Structure 1
Amino acid sequence: MNSPARQYLQQFMHDLGQDYKAWRGLNALLLRQRQAILARNSEELETINQQIFGLYHKLSSTGSTRHQLLSALGVSTNNQGVQRLIRHLPAAWQESVGALWQQVEAQAREAQTANQYNGTLLNMQYDIVQSILNASEPENWLYQHR
């Protein structure tokens, strides 16, 4: 394996480990976000949201780097490309990198589910507040945002 390809692989594996940590952190923050939503703690929610956006930015950046690395290694820039890359790693690395990739994927799916759930909670709270606000003015029912 030539030197640039080896460096790309090392960067890929390093970033994958960093992504796993970031996704785990994001899932912990999404749980805290859900608790803050339910408690209607807007100050805590603002703090958590800033941390979440920081992790989103980091994950976006490493995703972009991964895209570039996969392209430079000559594999497609999707899950199939990553799987192909893993199959072509030295045998000693295949199992650990493959397992790490699966863990990253699982954390990402968990975050997507948690984010959707939190979004649903926020929408429900918004609808409740709108109903309360419009209860004193029944003539406004026609103009409610839905």
Structure 2
Amino acid sequence: MSPNLPRLTRQQAITALADGVQADVRDSAEVLALLERQFEAALRHRSSELAGLAELLTPLLDAMEARRQQRVSLVRALLGPEATMAQFIGTLPGPARDALASAWGDLERTVRACKEASTRNGTLLAEQYTVMQRVLHGEEGIYAPR
């Protein structure tokens, strides 16, 4: 195992990987729901709600990142420095492989949806900011003679 990880047996590492993926499936679904709420709050210009949602998102995203780092370390400790999660899943026996592959697929789909929602939200907020800047400061040259 890696020097940064506690000494785990192979079975403990496998269990930690499976549990981490399940936790990420759960948390990513919550992140997606919060991103939908964020979009609605942005549409309605509810800045205090946006701030509250950011406070809810941050610990979820931090926990998911920590689990991702652990997952990379564990997979590499088990299979080598270039190993991937797909390769790890392929080493598992039938039922465990199928269960983890299914959870991993769910996680990948939800993370893609989160990325799309995050991009959409960021685009909306950037557009709103641009509009507010125009309202507050006008556009340069808008009243310049032609």
Same fold (TM over 0.5): yes
More helix by share: 1
Gapped regions of structure 2 (runs ≥ 5) = 1-7, 142-146
Task: Report if aligned partners of 1:33, 1:45 keep a CA contact under 8 Å in 2.
Answer: yes
1:23 to 21, 28, 44: 28
| Displacement of 1:116 | 0.4
Distance in 2 (alpha carbons) for counterparts of 1:23 and 1:132: 37
Aligned-pair Cα RMSD in Å: 1.5
Match of 1:118 in 2: 121
Gapped regions of structure 1 (runs ≥ 5) = none
Identity of aligned residues (%): 25
Aligned residues: 134
Bigger mean CA offset, 114-123 vs 84-93: 84-93
| Displacement of 1:87 | 1.2
TM score, norm. by length of structure 1? 0.86
Distance in 2 (alpha carbons) for counterparts of 1:115 and 1:29: 10
| Displacement of 1:71 | 1.6
2:66 to 61, 68, 85: 61
Task: Report if aligned partners of 1:67, 1:77 keep a CA contact under 8 Å in 2.
Answer: no
Match of 1:40 in 2: 45
Q: Partner letter of residue 44 of structure 1?
A: E
Distance in 2 (alpha carbons) for counterparts of 1:91 and 1:9: 14
Q: Secondary structure at the match of 1:11?
A: helix
Q: Partner letter of residue 117 of structure 1?
A: R
Task: Report if aligned partners of 1:75, 1:85 keep a CA contact under 8 Å in 2.
Answer: no
Distance in 2 (alpha carbons) for counterparts of 1:77 and 1:127: 43
Q: 1:105 to 1:5 in 2, by over 3 A?
A: same
